Amino acid sequence: MTMNDRPDLDPLLAAQAPLAAQAPLAAQALASGSHAHYEALMRACRSLPPLRTAIVHPCDENSLGGALSAAAEGIIVPILIGPARRIAAVAQASKLDLRACEVLDVPHSHAAADKAVEIVRAARAEAIMKGSLHTDELMSAALRKENGLRTGRRVSHVFILDVPSYPKPLFLTDAVVNIAPDLEQKADIVQNAIDLARSLNVACPKVAILSAVETVSSKIPSTIDAAALCKMADRGQIVGGLLDGPLALDNAISRDAAQIKHIDSPVAGDPDVLVVPNMEAGNLLAKELIFMSGSDAAGIVLGASVPIMLTSRADSIRARTASCAVACLYARSRSTPRALATDR
């Protein structure tokens, strides 16, 4: 995009008050965060049958150890898919016990992704978890038009963040899959996040549609999308949650900031879900929360026929286990009519 193509930034600059005057004093809470939200997720899985999960190419210590940790918690039954010798070597080097695990021997990561999709389609697995392969390898196999795992819903990713300074789990979407979603795609992204939050017992998720400002401006397209999404919810095109937007991040997350800007909203200052305008904004926000505020981030892809866990090499064992817990709760809730909104 050239400079001539850029929207006029005057509305953004005019609408911003000095951030220092609005910033919440949340930093004091960071050191005392206990990550209790994730512990609650794992406890909620104890009464559920474990989820049969295809672990795709678990050929490093983190991905193999994360899967086995979730298995030890009784959350999943792992099916390890990859070069059997490499998996065994990793297990031996990491002192991990594979005796209780089914291992499907395939030659490389591409074959592992294909095999995972195959066993899901054959109803031998109920979820997929990424190991040590590129995300695009796994998602290309999952989203093939023929013999893939597509549904009528747009696929999107949701982070479930355990933020030490925030009083409840925070859902952030989409920071991974959809680069620059249009309005219709954003509607599915929002619905996926609402459905996930409801499956985790958030009765009516509060959804903040983020932009740079909280006023609608033709010069900032994401503000128009935010307003349209709210009207779609009014008309029943998005169901199960309470939407408001556009909201800037400060007044979305802080009641004080919302009051300073005279925003009267049940969502502002108390959201369950943050919907970002594009992947760049979401990815930056997620990594800031993870690496600067000490947040843990479980992650799950929704909209396919089964949940897909896209773990990162930087994920802690706790975050990987929490991703499995989220996938288990979501998958089990899909047979409960009240838990998920009906696909449009």
Q: If you average pLDDT over residues 92-112, what whole number do you get?
A: 95
Is residue 183 located within the same domain as residue 170? yes
Please calculate the CA angle 243-332-154 and round it to the nearest 5 degrees.
Answer: 45
Alpha-carbon distance of 308 to 196, in angstroms, equals 13
pLDDT band at 33 (very low <50, low <70, confident <90, very high): very low
* pLDDT > 90? residue 52: yes
Alpha-carbon distance of 325 to 304, in angstroms, equals 18
- Answer yes or no: are the C-beta atoms of 130 and 307 closer than 8 Å: no
pLDDT band at 39 (very low <50, low <70, confident <90, very high): confident
Alpha-carbon distance of 138 to 124, in angstroms, equals 18
* pLDDT > 50? residue 8: no
pLDDT at 85: 96
The CATH number of the domain holding residue 212 is 3.40.718.10
Is residue 308 located within the same domain as residue 276? no
Alpha-carbon distance of 318 to 238, in angstroms, equals 32
pLDDT band at 336 (very low <50, low <70, confident <90, very high): low
Is residue 166 located within the same domain as residue 133? no
Residue 27 lies in a domain: no
Exposure of 248 by Cβ count < 10 A (0-12 exposed, 13-18 middle, 19+ buried)? buried
Residue 93 lies in a domain: yes
Q: Domain count of the chain? A: 2
Residue 53 lies in a domain: yes
The CATH number of the domain holding residue 124 is 3.40.50.10950
Per the model's pLDDT, the better-predicted residue between 175 and 293 turns out to be: 175
pLDDT at 335: 62
Is residue 191 located within the same domain as residue 56? no
Residue 237 lies in a domain: yes
Q: If you average pLDDT over residues 172-177, what whole number do you get?
A: 96
Residue 329 lies in a domain: yes
* pLDDT > 70? residue 110: yes
Is residue 243 located within the same domain as residue 328? no
Lowest mean pLDDT among 9-18, 57-66, 77-86, 148-157: 9-18
Residue 198 lies in a domain: yes
Is residue 129 located within the same domain as residue 233? no
Q: Which two tokens stand for residue 242?
A: 């309470």
- The upper half-sphere exposure of residue 248, i.e. CA atoms within 13 Å in the direction of its Cβ, equals 23
Query: Who's near 157: CB < 8 A, 6+ residues apart?
Result: 173, 174, 175, 176, 177, 178, 299, 300, 301, 302, 310
State which amino acid sits at residue 322. Answer: A
Per the model's pLDDT, the better-predicted residue between 51 and 17 turns out to be: 51
Is residue 161 located within the same domain as residue 242? yes
Residue 58 lies in a domain: yes
* pLDDT > 80? residue 6: no
Is residue 165 located within the same domain as residue 275? yes
* pLDDT > 50? residue 7: no
pLDDT band at 317 (very low <50, low <70, confident <90, very high): confident
Lowest mean pLDDT among 64-73, 82-91, 330-339: 330-339
Percent of the chain at pLDDT > 90 equals 74
pLDDT at 109: 96
* pLDDT > 60? residue 339: no
Q: If you average pLDDT over residues 195-208, what whole number do you get?
A: 95
* pLDDT > 90? residue 216: yes
CA distances from 33 to 139, 165, 252, 320 (A): 34, 7, 21, 19
- The pTM score is 0.84
Domain span holding position 211: 157-301
Is residue 44 located within the same domain as residue 120? yes
Work out the mean pLDDT of the chain and round it to a whole number. 87
Beta bridge partners of residue 296, listed in sequence order: 162
Residue 16 lies in a domain: no
Cα dihedral 301, 33, 281, 21, rounded to 10, equals 150
Give the CA radius of gyration of the chain: 21
Is residue 131 located within the same domain as residue 261? no
* pLDDT > 50? residue 341: no
Beta bridge partners of residue 274, listed in sequence order: 172, 208
- Answer yes or no: are the C-beta atoms of 193 and 326 closer than 8 Å: no
Is residue 177 located within the same domain as residue 285? yes
pLDDT at 253: 95
Question: pLDDT for 219-269, tens place per residue?
Answer: 999 999 999 999 999 999 999 999 999 999 999 999 999 999 999 999 999
Is residue 328 located within the same domain as residue 201? no
Q: If you average pLDDT over residues 112-127, what whole number do you get?
A: 97
Q: If you average pLDDT over residues 53-62, what whole number do you get?
A: 95
Exposure of 34 by Cβ count < 10 A (0-12 exposed, 13-18 middle, 19+ buried)? exposed
pLDDT at 327: 95
SS3 annotation, the chain: CCHHHCCCCHHHHHHCCCHHHHCCCCHHHHHHCCCHHHHHHHHHHHHCCCEEEEEECCCCHHHHHHHHHHHHCCCEEEEEEECHHHHHHHHHHHCCCCCCCEEEECCCHHHHHHHHHHHHHCCCCCEEEECCCCHHHHHHHHCCCCCCCCCCCCCEEEEEEECCCCCCCEEEECCCCCCCCCHHHHHHHHHHHHHHHHHCCCCCCEEEEECCCCCCCCCCHHHHHHHHHHHHHHCCCCCCCEEEEEECHHHHHCHHHHHHCCCCCCCCCCCCEEECCCHHHHHHHHHHHHHHCCCEEEEEEECCCCCEECCCCCCCHHHHHHHHHHHHHHHHHCCCCCCCCCCC
* pLDDT > 80? residue 315: no
